Structure 1
Amino acid sequence: MSECVTIDNLLKDARKTLTESGSESATLDASVLLCHVLDRPRSYLMTWPDRTVESEVVNKFNELVKRRESGEPVAYIVGEREFWSLNLKVSSSTLIPRPDTERLVELALEKSTLVKGDILDLGTGTGAIALALASELPDRNVWGVDLKQEAQHIAQDNAERLSIKNAQFLFGSWFEPLDHDAKFALIVSNPPYIESDDPHLSEGDVRFEPLSALVSEKQGLADIEVIAKQAPEHLLEGGWLLFEHGLDQGEPVRTLLETLGYDQVETFQDYGHRDRVTVGRFNTLE
């Protein structure tokens, strides 16, 4: 009977189901889903494994497990994801923030010590990058831009929920919603950079994420090229442009930036030792 079902029972059954469905994170997925249903931290599950669970909770949890079994990302199911220790609201109109993107934040923080001024995040989605930078640099104004109005609303809502007051979000394509004379010390972006025929688009969580935030023409480099060409109009002297990109795109992105006249161009690796972020400085004085 459902009144005899314990937290431990639920987790064991869910782990088995999700493992059989091919999940590589079945234990974590089951815990996150149950914490969401119970509205409790993970420590609660470990402290009270023998506590019985009401039938309403059992049914709701099993519904969520079925959604995860079908491949739907946990972040979309629970409506949130942690990034840079910030709990962010997410939806199917935004990419799910990933740990590798924190490398872009780290590098932006390093470059922020070299030039003063506002910061711009293009293709902001949930606002993850912009809000991480704003939380670390409370004396800077950080602006995020996204082509989807729902994403802009989610990012602004995240800022308000987290009481981050130095981040604002605009709706539009890349630089289009900005004032013509707007200048920034840093422009950062995690733009679409996957080729339309990439087989990874039909695998894992990516299947559920918006293609407009993933796919770009010209071997995945079209949006990077547009941003790189337009960025100098909005960079302060000595300002930096930083891109997240695919693991095989370091060399072509470096070549692009160097051809466009950026200097100190360099590619950095992510935590998995894969090329992930390329940076370049805008400088007309040398």
Structure 2
Amino acid sequence: MKAIARALADGARQLEKNSDTPRLDAELLMSEALHIDRDKLILSPPDRNVPERFWDMIGRRQAGEPIAYITGRRAFWNIELHVGPGVLIPRPDSEVLIASAIEHFEGTAGPKRVLDLGTGPGTLLLAALDIWPQATGLGIDLSRQALSYAAANARRLGFEQRLKLQLGDWAAGVRETFDLILCNPPYIRDDADLGPGVREFEPDEALFAGSEGLDAYHVLAPQLPALLSKGGLAAVEIGYDQAAEVPALLGRDGLDAQVALDLAGRPRAVLLTWV
């Protein structure tokens, strides 16, 4: 127990220059090294030697590699997703899309058909299928690697029979309509300053969207009206500084655009419904 405690303290000190949350990072890496939950590590740490793997992971984190890539997983809403290099790491900010969908469908049976554009490792689609057991979904992504992660996550969560994953460029060629459309497109300006490890490790195509960060929205804008069922909701993630431009782009052809805030009170999504 003392060895674990000393290693956690030492690991956190080593990460102070590389992370805003060095103690949390050390705890997550130790939990992974010991193959136990972080709660158990904190409340009832095992009395054993520190695995050498822990120090290897500390070294990777010092080099800037994201925690999720090191551990190979990331929690999102009520599910856990396996992730790795080549896919966007799920972030808590994106949970506002799921929360907005829950609010929209409150008091109803919920959506029957769900579309996730740019599904990545299946983040939004799988969270929605977990919430609404009667729903089925379609996830589309331009990356074969991302779709392989999404397929593996769907199998592990038991949702494989309830979804289809498709290689594609946004909604090109899709002809049906959906009750719920979810989308976390790239929206970062090409020259933006990012946190450590993001630009170096995460895929550019999932992050950057031209000089103004709006390229993906220009593609999505004419596609969404034909995809959304009457009474449905399209929830599209935005950057915190895009609350003026994106609603103006997406609110077209009879769709009303409203902005939803994240837990920090920042604009984080555009919600589209039929007027």
**TM-score, with length taken from structure 2:** 0.91
Instruction: Please say if 1:13 is aligned against 2:10.
Output: yes
* Aligned residue among 117, 121, 128 for 2:116: 121
Partner of 2:138: 143
Q: Over aligned residue pairs, what C-alpha RMSD do you find?
A: 2.0
| Aligned equivalents of 2:73, 2:88: Cα separation in 1 | 11
Query: CA distance change for structure 1 residues 43 and 281 in 2, over 3 Å: closer, same or farther?
Result: closer
* Contact 2:183-2:236 at 8 Å conserved across structures: yes
Amino acid paired to 1:265: A
Matches of 1:218 and 1:61, distance apart in 2:
40
Alpha-carbon separation, structure 2, partners of 1:49 and 1:235: 50
Structure-2 change in CA distance of 1:40 and 1:92 (3 Å): same
- Give a deviation string over 1:207-251, Cα, whole Å, max 9, x none: 211110011125111111211211222222343322101011111
Deviations 1:47-106 (A, max 9, x none): 45472316xx1x211111000011110000011000012110001111111111111111
CA offset at residue 166 of structure 1? 2.2
The CA distance in 2 between the partners of 1:45 and 1:237, in whole Å, is: 49
Partner of 2:227: 234
**SS in structure 1 of the partner of residue 244 of structure 2:** helix
Alpha-carbon deviation of 1:182?
Answer: 1.5
Q: How far apart are the structure 2 equivalents of 1:142 and 1:242? A: 15
- Give 4+ residue runs of structure 1 displaced > 4 Å after superposition: 47-50, 113-116
Task: Verify: 1:276 aligned to 2:231, yes or no.
Answer: no
**2:91 aligned partner:** 98
Mapping 1:219-258, distance limit 5 Å: 219-258=212-251
Q: 1:149, 1:28 → 2: CA distance?
A: 32
Report SS of the residue matched to 1:247.
coil
Map residues 162-241 of structure 1 onto 2, 5 A cutoff. Answer: 162-164=157-159, 165-176=161-172, 178=174, 181-200=175-194, 203-207=195-199, 208-217=201-210, 219-241=212-234
Question: Which amino acid is the alignment partner of residue 127 of structure 2?
Answer: A
Residue pair 2:190, 2:211 contacting (<8 A) in 1 also: no
Cα contact 2:135–2:162 (8 A) shared by 1: yes
- Residue 220 of structure 1: SS of its match in structure 2? coil
Distance 2:215 2:38 in 1: 42
The alignment status of 1:39 with 2:39, answered yes or no, reads: no
Whether contact under 8 Å (2:18, 2:64) holds in the other structure is no
Matches of 2:20 and 2:221 in 1, distance apart? 37
Whether the 8 Å contact between 1:138 and 1:166 is mirrored in structure 2 is no
Instruction: Give the aligned residue type for 1:24.
Output: D
- Inter-partner Cα distance in structure 2 for 1:229 and 1:84: 30
Residues 161 and 49 of structure 1: is their aligned pair in 2 closer, same or farther, counting only changes over 3 Å? closer
Q: Match for 1:271: what amino acid?
A: L
Counterpart-to-counterpart distance in 2, 1:130 and 1:50:
37
Report the residue type matching 1:23 in the other structure.
S
| Letter of the structure 1 residue corresponding to residue 124 of structure 2 | I
User: Considering only CA atoms, is the larger Rg found in Structure 1 or Structure 2?
Assistant: 1
Please report how far the alpha carbon of residue 188 of structure 1 lies from its aligned counterpart in structure 2 after TM superposition. Answer: 1.4
Structure 2, unpaired ranges of 5+:
none
Cα separation, 2, equivalents of 1:215 and 1:95: 12
**Separation of aligned partners in 2, 1:215 and 1:46:** 38
Q: Distance in 2 between matches of 1:48 and 1:111?
A: 41
Preserved contact between residue 145 and residue 174 of structure 1 (Cα < 8 Å): yes
1:63 is aligned to 2:60 = no
Q: What secondary structure is seen at the aligned counterpart in 1 of 2:219?
A: helix
CA distance in 2, matches of 1:193, 1:39: 36
Question: Between Structure 1 and Structure 2, which shows a larger proportion of helix residues?
Answer: 1
Q: For residue 175 of structure 1, report the CA deviation from its aligned partner.
A: 1.3
2: CA distance, partners of 1:240 / 1:17 = 46
